[in-house]
Structure 1
Amino acid sequence: MYRLLLICSVFFLNSCQAKTNHTDMNASSVDLIKAVEKNQLSVVAAELKKGANVNTSDKRQRSLLLIAAHDNNLEMAKLLVAHGADVNRQDQIKDSPFLYAGASGFTELVKLFLENGARFDVFNRYYGSALIPACERGHIEVVKLLARTKGYPIDHVNRLGWTALMEAVLLGNGTEKYVTVVQTLVDAGCNISIPDNDGITALQHARSRGYTGIASVLEQAARAKQS
């Protein structure tokens, strides 16, 4: 009887220890996520120095770096990247730090991620690049940065059948901001002839919408291509 009680006691203690260890691990991760959300740089730095996982994710699979990117927190992002954070790690909806920063117009974050392993073959939930939504939203500085980056897939076509140029025309409003976006893409050597899924080109769309500034840029590019 005494032996049975001893075995049960040992089993109970081991179970408690296992539960404690599991809880501690989760608590550490949650604390690190909260520290990033609260911009507690010193806390995050200390945890990383102790060996915390820099690619820790929350319940939505958002990495620490993606959480920092959501807040356009450049200093936190620099800290995380310095410790090896993956700039291409995607969450449940396929956002990555690089893709999100590009779509949001966070130019300094985009620069940081380009310098630290940003991949051009990782796409968002629309099978789009960082450039395409940047063009849609008129984030001129990001558009210039990405369009001028060597090897960047400027003519990538997303799931909707649209390039960055097409998206700037179809989802922009034809104002001067979008004229600049289109001019930037043209200057970077984009293919102005790629049509949408209905066979309609960006120039045709620009004309039908009365976007004279954009149409002028594309017409000039077309003439230059023919000469």
Structure 2
Amino acid sequence: MEEVVQWAANVMDHKTGAEKKAQVEERVRRISSDLHCEMLDLSVGENITELCKREKNKTFSPRVSVEIPVIGPTDTAEFMNAARLGKLNVIDKYLADGGNPNVHDELKRTALHRASVEGHTAVVQMLLEKGANINFKDQLGSRAIHWACRGGSLGVVKALKSHGADLNVRDKLDSTPLHVATRTGHMDIVEYLLSCCAKINSSDREGDTALHDAVQLNRYKIVKLLLDAGADTTIKNHEGVTAVQQVKEWQFDIMETLHTLEKLREMGPENTSRERND
């Protein structure tokens, strides 16, 4: 199984002076508008007491947030964090200023990796259109398509595929996107990869196919998908075990465990406790 490495620490976002000014102006405009409405109400005869009661019970509908254009230079840390958070305005400003779309952190993960695992399809599209390397490998040899399958966003997977992502590419563990989607349990992505003719019987470094992984992790629905798509049940991993044999071994282990528990019950609670302690 693949190791999971923590993302770099998040960088706190700072509001620019322009953002603060815009918020103040919006607040003043809203207050002025409310006061104007109240004056109109009073002019048609509504008294102060009734107005106060109405204001107390007033409910406000949520306002639609609009991204404010970024003013001033954007550094690499802000750009990387924006990719994780899906902030298109920050990313657009960084790239417009000539920023490198392929900068990476100490784990060699780029903004495209981050946006892919977080499911930010619009960010992925922008990065690819601005020159992000779709085949850039992180320390584990994972491409953006691996991270998209890990994150579970079908939209991102489709976006990467439309820009030429290899659906059979391997990381350092020889895992394909199908392996990754199977292990993380994203059935819709497994189904999509199979519909795109991804190689169903590819083996990873341990010789396991996606079917082996699905059986080991009890992904019943994915097992069915793979079998319906023609997965080969006779392929053996490096331990010489097929996926079918894994099922039999699992059933045998369950039966053996249940048999042992039944014996312990027959021996009585004292013996059962002593056996468990041993």
TM exceeding 0.5: yes
Residues 1:112 and 2:156 are matched in the alignment = no
Q: What is the CA RMSD across the aligned residues, in angstroms? A: 2.1
Identity, % of aligned positions: 27
Residue of structure 1 equivalent to 2:244: 203
Shift of 1:75: 2.2
Residue of structure 1 equivalent to 2:110: 63
Residue of structure 2 equivalent to 1:74: 121
Which amino acid is 2:246 matched to? H
Of residues 122, 138, 147, the one that matches 2:169 is 122
Shift of 1:160: 0.9
Give the length in aligned residue pairs: 179
Matched-pair contact (CA < 8 Å) for 1:103–1:131: no
Post-superposition CA distance 1:100-120 (Å, at most 9, x none): 111332222111111111124
Assess, with a 3 A threshold, how the Cα gap between structure 1 residues 52 and 146 changes in structure 2: closer, same or farther. same
Residue of structure 1 equivalent to 2:201: 155
Higher RCO structure, 1 or 2 (CA under 8 Å, sep 6+): 1
Post-superposition CA distance 1:182-221 (Å, at most 9, x none): 121122222221112232211121123239xxxxxxxxxx
Of residues 42, 45, 55, the one that matches 2:92 is 45
Task: Structure 2 unaligned segments of length 5 or more: list them.
Answer: 1-73, 253-278
Residues 1:181 and 2:203 are matched in the alignment = no
Matched-pair contact (CA < 8 Å) for 1:88–1:122: no
Post-superposition CA distance 1:151-196 (Å, at most 9, x none): x2211110011000111112x12xxxx2221121122222221112
Which amino acid is 1:101 matched to? A
Separation (CA, whole Å) in 2 of partners of 1:36 and 1:146: 25
Matched-pair contact (CA < 8 Å) for 2:116–2:151: no
**TM-score (norm. length: structure 1):** 0.71
Of residues 228, 231, 249, the one that matches 1:190 is 231
Residues 1:103 and 2:144 are matched in the alignment = no
SS in 2 for 1:199: coil
Matched-pair contact (CA < 8 Å) for 1:69–1:77: yes
Shift of 1:121: 4.8
Which amino acid is 1:157 matched to? S
Separation (CA, whole Å) in 1 of partners of 2:168 and 2:85: 32
Assess, with a 3 A threshold, how the Cα gap between structure 1 residues 100 and 38 changes in structure 2: closer, same or farther. closer
**TM-score (norm. length: structure 2):** 0.59
Residues 1:168 and 2:214 are matched in the alignment = yes
Which amino acid is 1:155 matched to? N
SS in 1 for 2:179: helix
Separation (CA, whole Å) in 1 of partners of 2:79 and 2:184: 32
Task: Structure 1 unaligned segments of length 5 or more: list them.
Answer: 1-26, 212-227
Which amino acid is 1:185 matched to? L
Separation (CA, whole Å) in 2 of partners of 1:147 and 1:114: 13
Larger Rg belongs to: 2
Residue of structure 1 equivalent to 2:256: none
